[in-house]
Amino acid sequence: MAEKSTLLIVEDDLGIQNQLKWCFDAYEIVLASNREEAINALRRFEPQVVTLDMGLPPDPGGTSEGLATLEAILNLAPKTKVVVVTGNDDKPTAVKAIGLGAYDFYLKPIDADILGLIVNRAFRVAELEAENERLYQGAHSPLEGLIASSPQMMKVCRTVEKVAPTNATVLLLGSSGTGKEVLARSIHRLSSRVEQRFVAINCAAIPENLLESELFGYEKGAFTGAVKQTPGKIEYAHGGTLFLDEIGDLPMALQAKLLRFLQERVIERVGGRGEIPVDVRVICATHRTLQDMIAEGLFREDLFYRLSEITINIPALKDRDGDALMIARAILSRVVVESGGKTKDFTQDAVAAIENYAWPGNVRELENRVKRAFIMSDGTKISAEDLELNEIGDEKMPFNLREVREAAEKRAVSRALHYSNGNIAQAAELLGISRPTLYDLMKKLGIQ
């Protein structure tokens, strides 16, 4: 049976909640009565479409709760289609909501058939956009969502393709912004679990006191506010793939519980007593050096060996030959399409700056700079100054083979002389040339 799409209904009137719930029985319905519940549901269930009542009671400061909720939803999940529902006498609010980014609006009183058409169309548009994005990304790389051509990343891609069909637990290591989640999703898509859920959770983004119930779920009455039995992310991912990002930030108390799950493949909800078997493929990622954390007593060594059945080291962007420029051009093309603006390209000084900059923030920094430069640049060209890399552009690598060869020879000769402490005979032997040839090279290259 096909999995139902999720529809989030934000409505404080219980009668209308029930009415809408029965109207949309073809979807998995999640209900929320206020902004806090709506945001929690958005994070947990990631609905493609939301219906939002703009008549939610205002906050104590008098701010429109409906508009505030809309902005919060779009900030957290900008691709979500939000259908705002408002009273017939409040068209200005509906128009303002559209201006803020809502997909469509509907005026009360509610007609189930008309609202159903709007919601069905919103789901269809969301599906088409997701499919277009998958096709766009997949056309640029052997792995969907990954743009790369460097030997370093091709090696990573081959590893992913070998590992994906297995059930091995994978540990992805790399700096922030190197694309760990992109690779995790690629492993899922290339696996036999592709038709099941991919569930991602950032261990550093959830407070420690909430993380256990988020991962393992909880029983009704387990703690204050636990009004119903709630499955956790691990249980929710049953049959599919669980991605634990920033696993290095997992508290020690939870490390022991996670280790038991990996060993036994059963979980216990918070406040529960029964064991629940779960079949899930686990992928973890971190930017931390786990061996150092083990030495400091901050990470369990036995858990590390459970997690690292397969370890994939993702190189930083500065260590991927030619990838920075390829990714920058792909990002620029996407921004042009999304904005509907004029086509732009990079100037030569921008190309040189992109190739020579160290990119400490990796792909995330590159994307931010390109987007900002697209907005701020005039005309059809983006310069190094627009990228705020104008001091880097002058340090470009030469294309002239003679210059490249001379630079390489100078580095090799200098290194041999330093290694041999200035002994010409030993340096010549290291370089595999005669002493007269070395003297000639030193003279040509200006080495004293």
**What integer pLDDT is reported at residue 45 of this predicted model?**
87
CA distance linking residue 265 with residue 273, whole number of Å = 16
355 within domain boundaries: yes
* 359 confidence band (pLDDT: 50, 70, 90): very high
Locus of tokens 């990631």:
46
Same structural domain, 196 and 233: yes
* Domain stop point among 293, 315, 337: 315
Last residue of a domain, one of 137, 166, 184: 137
- The pLDDT value given to residue 423: 84
Tell me if 12 is assigned to some domain.
yes
Please give the Cα distance from 116 to 373 (Å, whole number): 41
Confidence of residue 361 (pLDDT cuts 50, 70, 90): very high
Residues 132 and 177 in one domain: no
Coil, helix or strand at residue 215 = helix
Q: Give the domain range for residue 247.
A: 151-315
The predicted-structure confidence for 14-45, as pLDDT tens digits, reads as follows: 888 888 888 888 888 999 988 888 998 888 88
CATH number at residue 46: 3.40.50.2300
Mean pLDDT of 248-271: 93
Mean pLDDT across 167-196:
93
Can you give the CATH number for the domain in which 310 is found?
Answer: 3.40.50.300
Supply 52's token pair.
Answer: 């939002």
Same domain, 349 and 263: no
15 and 48 co-located in one domain: yes
- 169 pLDDT band, cuts 50/70/90, is very high
Residues 299 and 186 in one domain: yes
**Where among 106, 137, 168 does a domain terminate?**
137
**Nearest CA-CA partner of 445 in 420, 423, 421, 412:** 412
Contacts with 134 (C-beta within 8 Å, 6 or more apart), sequence order: 144
Q: What is the percent of the chain where pLDDT is above 90?
A: 38
Q: Assess whether 85 and 220 both reside in one domain.
A: no
**Does residue 196 form part of some domain?**
yes
Q: Is residue 143 part of a domain?
A: no
Give a yes or no: residue 145 inside a domain. no
**388-436 pLDDT per residue, tens:** 987 654 445 555 677 778 778 887 887 777 667 678 888 888 888 888 8
In-domain check, residue 1: no
Lookup: tokens for 273: 């007593």
Q: Rounded to whole angstroms, what are the CA distances from 138 to 82, 126, 151, 223, 316? A: 27, 18, 19, 45, 22
* Tally of domains in the chain: 4
- Mean of per-residue pLDDT scores for the chain: 86
Q: Is 70 exceeded by the pLDDT of residue 58?
A: no
Q: Look at residues 40, 317, 81, 58 and name the one whose alpha carbon lies nearest to residue 177.
A: 317
Domain with 379 in it: what CATH number?
A: 1.10.8.60
pLDDT of residue 300: 95
The confidence score (pLDDT) of residue 261 equals 94
Structure tokens at 443: 């003279």
Span 177-201, average pLDDT: 93
User: What pLDDT is attached to residue 135?
Assistant: 56
Indicate if 423 and 308 belong to the same structural domain. no
Sheet strands (E) in 158-298? 170-173, 198-202, 217-218, 230-231, 241-245, 266-267, 276-277, 281-286
CA dihedral (255, 258, 259, 263) in degrees, to 10, reads 180
Do 104 and 205 belong together in one domain? no
Q: What is the mean pLDDT of residues 272-295?
A: 94
**Residue of 33, 7, 2 lying closest to 115 (CA atoms):** 7
**What is the Cα–Cα distance from 392 to 444, expressed in whole angstroms?**
29
Are 155 and 96 in the same domain? no
Q: Are residues 178 and 253 in the same domain?
A: yes
CATH number of the domain where residue 414 is located: 1.10.10
Question: Do both 214 and 356 map to the same domain?
Answer: no
Is 142 within a domain? no
The answer to the question of residue 265 being in a domain is: yes
Token pair in block for residue 375: 């907005």
**CA-wise closest residue to 115 among 161, 180, 71, 49:** 49
Q: At what angle do helices 208-216 and 252-264 cross, to 10 degrees?
A: 10
Please compute the mean of the pLDDT values over residues 212-237 and round it to a whole number: 89
Check whether residue 163 and residue 292 sit in a common domain: yes
